Structure 1
């Protein structure tokens, strides 16, 4: 459909992803949603962008609802709606057919991220063999997510000089979503892990290079390439399995585990939101699982 459109529409379509969206993850998600929607329309005989109607969007949303969770459906609708808004402002199409289409209802009071018990997180950290570069790196990365509530995207984007000394204590500088810079003092365990990793792998002389790197093939030593989020996820699952953890965790599990443990030990929700760099405490509430203990206690009252 885009190839068959005029030059203005083609250019506007490309500009949406190249100009209007800076976050690479958002760009990738919206590109996938736009491609799937346009292919879906074409398969149903829609020949041009101008022929797309609200009913097409409504039918597409119904079809997606049978395959995806409501948040995923809402994300895909938001991406294509923004695309058509961009096309309208560029006078490539007359109106946005998605403007009046409502997505599925969804209200989350509790996040779905799997959370570990403190002793399980401790078990993963303690079972990592730190006699290797990979072990030092993995312990430092997991420790960063646990103790600083760091997002994996911000963690793997760090450079070596983003771990710096201030007031005789090691701090970390995280470059978060939306261009926000977030600085946090290190927990004493995290300070130990990061210094052991930086010194043990000889990273101090490469201050502008990536902090977390891949392992060069056949050398068991760090390369110059930054560690990708997908590789970090595989590492986390591998380390959890080696530690005998049955929970299907991901990178965000350590962030949620750190927040939950902090709150259980008397921390306040407002401070947790600041430490996690959340703009609202409502977001922080999705991560913590303090209510799980209450739920389990109450379930055991069913004495049958």
Structure 2
């Protein structure tokens, strides 16, 4: 197993010492570093993951006594083999290295990109790992919420948003008051998704009622349109909301807490609603391209990873084994 540095990566935007190999390679290398990590990648999660991957590789090269211009494809391949972990982890590292060395080539720091000819690890996924929440479980969960106070009304609205729009927790956390609007014929939610994509999803009548009941109880209807839709509570046991947004982490905690209170499996998560909605619609014969749009996927294959119909068929088959 290749030994890599476990040095922590600073948060996005914080100044941090450059890897020694980059410093020694000169101004053009330093420019390429800044350009690649802070001008090309604006998604903070991608930025952090790529920074970590490249830093670890350069630390390893430092230990091998290499300089940037002398790194070979064989060494990149050797590093990835020794890196271990899942195929996705190694492919992410390879993607980060290819992009970084492309910048070094463009800035004439190195002649050729040593990561270009290195093959990634095959990672065939036919079904995602996220467990599906059943229709009955989702109904039980929504019915279990005490809506006698504003936090309960908020939680019901959040859970119903996850269930009836198939959105990600992060997209729900980003919702602003102005994103819940009426287009002249129906209410819609405008989601800001991964990759800077924006989508409007129609709001079904029961979700519309849940959100309006929460907004009225919270007394936020007249606030600026760019203020958060779903607000954080003062603390874990409080029934009072703050003006701060409910983060995706807090939404995950909210779901876990409500699952526990309802006596439902703890392995379920906010993403389980997304799996359930996609599988349910496909089971009803809704065209894949329509479900793909609802899910906000760029490729139909990605939508297919959320389809649990095959698992249900398999479960029915194994129940018939006569042992």
- Equivalent in the alignment of 2:12: none
1:211-255 alpha-carbon deviations (Å, 9 max, x no partner): 123223486422222222222222222222222222512322111
- Equivalent in the alignment of 1:248: 267
Offset of residue 55 of structure 1: 2.1
**1:288 pairs with 2:310:** no
- Equivalent in the alignment of 1:198: 215
Q: Please tell me whether the aligned partners of residues 145 and 255 of structure 1 are also in contact (alpha carbons under 8 angstroms).
A: yes
- Gap change, CA 1:80 and 1:238, over 3 Å in 2: farther
- Gap change, CA 1:296 and 1:33, over 3 Å in 2: same
- Equivalent in the alignment of 1:17: 37
- Equivalent in the alignment of 2:290: 271
- Equivalent in the alignment of 2:57: 37
Q: Please tell me whether the aligned partners of residues 128 and 135 of structure 1 are also in contact (alpha carbons under 8 angstroms).
A: yes
Q: Please tell me whether the aligned partners of residues 132 and 272 of structure 2 are also in contact (alpha carbons under 8 angstroms).
A: yes
In the alignment, which of 106, 111, 114 is matched to residue 128 of structure 2? 111
1:168-183 mapped onto 2 (5 Å cutoff): 168-183=185-200
2:141 aligned counterpart, secondary structure: helix
TM-score between both structures, scaled by the size of structure 1: 0.91
Offset of residue 136 of structure 1: 2.4
1:1-304 mapped onto 2 (5 Å cutoff): 1=20, 2-46=22-66, 48-65=67-84, 68-206=85-223, 207-217=225-235, 220-304=239-323
TM-score between both structures, scaled by the size of structure 2: 0.86
1:100-146 alpha-carbon deviations (Å, 9 max, x no partner): 11111112221112111111112222222233433222222221121
1:163-221 alpha-carbon deviations (Å, 9 max, x no partner): 00123422111122333221111122211221122111122122211212322348642
Q: Please tell me whether the aligned partners of residues 260 and 289 of structure 1 are also in contact (alpha carbons under 8 angstroms).
A: yes
- Gap change, CA 1:264 and 1:101, over 3 Å in 2: same
Q: Distance in 2 between matches of 1:107 and 1:216?
A: 44
Q: Distance in 1 between matches of 2:319 and 2:169?
A: 36
Q: Please tell me whether the aligned partners of residues 172 and 248 of structure 2 are also in contact (alpha carbons under 8 angstroms).
A: no
Q: Distance in 2 between matches of 1:245 and 1:135?
A: 18
1:14-68 alpha-carbon deviations (Å, 9 max, x no partner): 221110112222112111211222222223333x322322222112211233xx2
Q: Please tell me whether the aligned partners of residues 114 and 247 of structure 1 are also in contact (alpha carbons under 8 angstroms).
A: no
CA RMSD of aligned residues (A): 1.9
Q: Distance in 2 between matches of 1:238 and 1:154?
A: 20
Q: Please tell me whether the aligned partners of residues 189 and 200 of structure 2 are also in contact (alpha carbons under 8 angstroms).
A: yes
2:23 aligned counterpart, secondary structure: coil
Q: Which runs of 5+ in 2 are unaligned?
A: 1-19
Q: Distance in 1 between matches of 2:130 and 2:69?
A: 41
Moved more, 156-165 or 232-241: 232-241
- Gap change, CA 1:156 and 1:44, over 3 Å in 2: same
Q: Distance in 1 between matches of 2:154 and 2:301?
A: 32
2:114 aligned counterpart, secondary structure: coil
Q: Distance in 1 between matches of 2:23 and 2:149?
A: 52
How many residue pairs were aligned?
A: 301
